[in-house]
């Protein structure tokens, strides 16, 4: 498991508030994909995924105050993230297959209008 931790926030910043999670437990994540937004009195930052896989656990909920280095959640590394990404890729070719069907149907109508 890869741990998601609060990064160093700066010299004078000692805590942050969880703004919102972009992913829910059980969802696939890619490495460096933004997972959670942290708000401080100075900045708002996004914490990226340290590894690809599935977001297994969220330990710090929206609105909670956390310190630098605190555990935010964990990612189950492995095939889960890759397998979840394949169905999304499979739906894109299906959408492309529908586009050519619409084009020939429109083409005969154009000469008939002349």
Which domains occur in the chain, in start order? 2-104 (2.40.50.100)
Element (DSSP H or E) covering residue 18: strand 16-21
Closest CA to 87 of 31, 41, 44, 27: 27
Both ends of the chain: CA-CA distance in Å? Answer: 65
Percent of the chain exceeding pLDDT 90 equals 59
CA distance 4 to 71: 6
Q: What are the pLDDT digits (tens) for 5-27?
A: 999 988 888 999 999 999 999 99
Please state the pTM of the whole predicted model.
0.66
């Amino acid at each position: 498991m890869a741990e998601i931790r609060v990064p160093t926030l700066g010299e004078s910043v000692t805590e942050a508030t969880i703004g919102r999670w972009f992913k829910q437990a059980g969802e696939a994540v890619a490495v460096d994909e933004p997972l959670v937004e942290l708000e401080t009195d100075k900045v708002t930052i996004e914490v990226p995924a340290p590894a690809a896989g599935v977001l297994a656990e969220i330990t710090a909920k929206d609105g909670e105050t956390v310190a630098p280095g605190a555990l935010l959640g964990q990612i189950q590394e492995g095939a889960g993230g890759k397998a979840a990404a394949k169905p999304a890729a499979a739906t894109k070719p299906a959408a492309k297959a529908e586009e050519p069907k619409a084009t020939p149907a429109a083409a005969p109508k154009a000469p008939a209008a002349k």
